Chains A and B, each alone.
Chain A
Amino acid sequence: MKVPTQRISTRALTLWRLYGVIQAGVAALLVIGTGITTYLFDWPLWPLLSVSIVLAAIIILNIGVIPSVRWKRWRYEVRDQEIELQYGLFIITRTLVPMVRVQHVDTEQGPLLRKYKLATISISTAATTHKVPALDEGEAEELRHSISSLARVAEDDV
């Protein structure tokens, strides 16, 4: 089976790295806090050490590795009859959603997403919801229109 064609915006990469930086910032505050208390109250070294390891892991994984792997994996394709998604870090999932099953399409945009002119689109069926994160704003808008016009609502079955 061939892989879906579309990729998500490259700005997603920057955004996900930014999330990583924020997480690292929080962890760094924790490290500083633990460092100070260790110094003041003669704590043993292991709390400081473990917090530092967590910080290092966040920097390497959440800023370095994960965003790029995630971005590389993310593919989607909207065809006349169905939507296909592919994503995942360790477990690569492929999801098929037929157009006739789609009940509604939403786009959402948090403050950070807005700053980067990105939007997340979520496609809901009667039982499941599927999200495509960090699409280009214009593209998401277009996609929402095209999906909702393609999705014919079947009358008698859910």
Chain B
Amino acid sequence: MMFEPKRLHPISAVINFVKGLKDAILPLAAVLFLNSNRGEGILGLLPYLISGLLLAFILIGGIVKWIRFTYWVEDGELRMEHGLFVKKKRYIPIDRIQSLDFSEGILHRPLQLVKVTVETAGSSNVTEAEAELTAIHKEEARQLEHFIDQIKHSSGEPAGEEDQSTRQLVYKMGMKDILVMALTSGGAGVVISGALVFLSQGLEFLPVDAIYDEMIDWLQFSFLFIAVLVLLVLIIAYGISVLLTVLRYSQFSVYLDSGDIIMTRGLLEKKQVTIPLNRIQGIRIDENLIREPLGYATVTIISAGGSLKNDSDQTLRVLPLVKRSDMQKVLKSILKDYELNLPLNTPPKRSKLRYIARFIWFPAVLSSIASAMFFPLGLLSLLLIPVFSWLGYMSYRHAGWNLKGHQLTLIRRFLVKQTYVMKKYRVQSMYKGQSILQRRTKLASIRATLKSGVGGESARIWYLEENDTHTLLSWYSHE
């Protein structure tokens, strides 16, 4: 089985190479493009020489990395050894393994392979790369998972053998929801900026000077032309981003399996993420300015996972996009003891102006500087003030809290309305802040911190009635 040291699937050499290439693409492009019109003879060839060497280096590196990496299970530990000159060993006790996450890239799928990421409990060193098996057979991954399950459950009751059958589908994202999510996501911005960078690189490559003279005649026409071009680029970028999101999230499903939440998604690249229920610290519901009017929200799990930090928000979205009206029902089937749509206690009327002031002071300073420096046109920046007052007012309108039994709900808004739902026994610390000015008007703010990833995540509400903050603090107090 897996008690002998063994290598990953050879395809991982290719994956290493591709990964290395992705990291090196910017320096490579810099070497090739930026220096291309300088130096002659040998010097002119230098960039190609350098990039050729770099490529060879990456290729060999990928292969060596594959050859030197071995893994096996021994003494209740998952052991990995790698490194060419310095041998690095990493032994992970299996009962410290929190979960295995699977993902299948395009290279994995035809060969029935899977990439395994090992999530360990507790705060691991963030800078250290997480344990990862780049490509192993699916069958093997399943064995490993089964093995870990056995060891973990052996302390308690003898684990039932019907492990496969307990997996139970609780939520499947509809195509319509995925489409709405893709259409309203911010991914378009990323693609556009990428395209712009590419265009600016491309311009260097063209014989701009020669074209320039001809272009000057075109200038009248070209304003329109450029406008159309920009619009076209925007539309294409938007289309690509929509397509990518749809591919990434299609067949998004959530399963429950004996104390774990399992999320799978993806059409070309399949991903599977496991979150043990007892690591869940709370949930966060996000409603942004675009999705809220459409009645949609995103639900994210706040988990005390070890190494999820990097793309935690992506991976922990248990409901990437859900109709606000269905949310309660769907969430109930996944996490039984979290209650939504409870009546809210809100900040008092007298804090309305404070919210607005909090939002507009900075834009006010900015726009007065702008007005002074660019006198007539700069006055336009004053338009920022009503916009931010409105944001401040919305922030006041939506802020609120609720206590029910052991559950605390905090709602706050900046641009995105965020609803935090947490349990008393998961809150790491609670904090009341009151400035000297607030002391006279008996207002105070409250903040609760949860553990999230390797760090913390705080929910904070401004300008509550001071007595309310005392209610919250005594709810939290263990005395």
Contacts and interface: CB of A to CB of B under 8 A. Distances in A.
A125 B479 CA distance: 19
B449 interface: yes
A96 B434 contact: no
Interface stretch (A18-26, A85-93, A138-146): A85-93
Contacts of B439: 92
Contact of A81 (B425, B426, B478): B478
Interface in B261-302: 278-279, 281
Contacts of A158: 122, 279, 281, 304, 451
Given A92-B435, A97-B428, A98-B476, 14 more contacts: A82-B477, A82-B478, A90-B436, A93-B433, A93-B434, A94-B432, A95-B431, A101-B428, A127-B429, A127-B456, A128-B429, A128-B449, A157-B425, A158-B281
B479 A1 contact: no
Interface of A: 1, 79-82, 88, 90-101, 125-128, 130, 156-158
Given A91-B435, A126-B123, A97 B474 contact: no
B278 A156 contact: yes
A97 B434 contact: no
Contacts of B281: 158
Interface in B37-81: none
B156 to A, nearest CB: 12
Interface string B412-443: 00000000000001111111111110010000
Contact of B434 (A91, A98, A99, A101): A91
A97 to B, nearest CB: 5
Nearest to B431: A95
Nearest to A154: B425
B452 to A, nearest CB: 7
A105 B474 CA distance: 24
B450 interface: yes
B11 interface: no
B34 to A, nearest CB: 41
Contacts of A100: 425, 478
A125 B428 contact: yes
B455 interface: yes
